[in-house]
Amino acid sequence: METLTNPNSLSQLQALIIAGLQKPESGCIPFAIVPEGYEFKSTESLQEKPNRIRATVNLLTSDSFIDYIKRFIDPRTVIFADPSAVKFTAVLDYHETNADPEWAQHKAIYACPLSENWVAWNKYNKSKMNQLEFAEFIETHISDIAPINEVNQGFSGPQLLEMVLAFQETRKSEFKSVRRLQDGTFSFAFSDEKGGGNTSLPEKILLSLPPFHNGVYYALEARLRYRLRDGDLQLWYELIEPERILEDAFKNLITDISSKLPDTLMLEATAP
């Protein structure tokens, strides 16, 4: 390649530009040597259009991820599904077999953002609360209780809400004992200025949550726990294997995306 020995020479500048536009021989990397104090800059920004797409687009749903790939897909496209990072990365201009290498600079990423419902229940998982705090949390998220159906034969949202609201009235009560009833509930005996009474909660509840933002809903069980000490009652819940639900949701996404992009190679791997 011709080098620039005299910056004022128009012919040398022309030769340098022409040489840079020529396709290099196989295995050769083009380069330019410029004098000290000078820079070698691309003029691509002055062109009507760029030479190639350089973009990394972050999509928020699997449907948007699929739609974006469908718009730009070609034989070079490869999708990398990374279970450890819970993320999909599509490299739309990846290298092809027995072809020239590509730049791999056009990417679409779906990082499977968690839903607000999922984040809320995981944030307070195993967090001990007094009966008022517990009641307020359940009341706020009562819509996440699964409806009564073939899967959920336990308690509906309205039933649980009625139980929970009763705890809001016992914040100044002294709890005496707890016993398990045959219907799968715990009965809490308390005393207060009115004399006292009983209130109850189920041993388990079934949640219906989408792990991912605007995603498919999954059934997630939660055990209700309590601690009674010196008349003070603490309540909390423990989610049962939420990690397994996330794993299943990610595997189902792999199946769904593959079925909707049947001609695109998908690899379970970390994206380059």
d(CA 226, CA 7): 82
Q: Residue 50: which residues within 8 A CB-CB, separation 6 or more?
A: 44
Nearest to 211 by CA among 245, 184, 183: 245
User: Could you tell me where the DSSP H helices lie in the chain?
Assistant: 10-21, 62-72, 116-123, 131-140, 157-168, 242-260
Checking if the pLDDT of 167 tops 70, the result is yes
Q: Which of the 8 DSSP states describes residue 272?
A: -
Checking if the pLDDT of 261 tops 80, the result is yes
Checking if the pLDDT of 24 tops 70, the result is no
Residue with tokens 């691309």: 42
- Residue 200: the pLDDT is 86
Helix (H, G, I), strand (E, B) or coil at 122: helix
Query: pLDDT per residue over 213-249, tens digit each?
Result: 999 999 999 999 999 888 888 999 999 999 999 999 9
Q: Which of the 8 DSSP states describes residue 125?
A: T
Q: How much is the mean pLDDT over the chain? A: 87
Query: pLDDT per residue over 32-81, tens digit each?
Result: 777 888 887 888 888 888 888 999 999 999 999 999 999 999 999 999 99
192-210 average pLDDT score: 87
Where b means 16+ CB within 10 Å and e means fewer, 89-99 reads: bbbbbbeeeee
Burial category of 230 from C-beta neighbours within 10 Å (exposed 0-12, middle 13-18, buried 19 and up): exposed
Please give the model's pTM, rounded to 2 decimal places: 0.80
Query: pLDDT per residue over 246-260, tens digit each?
Result: 999 999 999 999 999
Checking if the pLDDT of 1 tops 90, the result is no
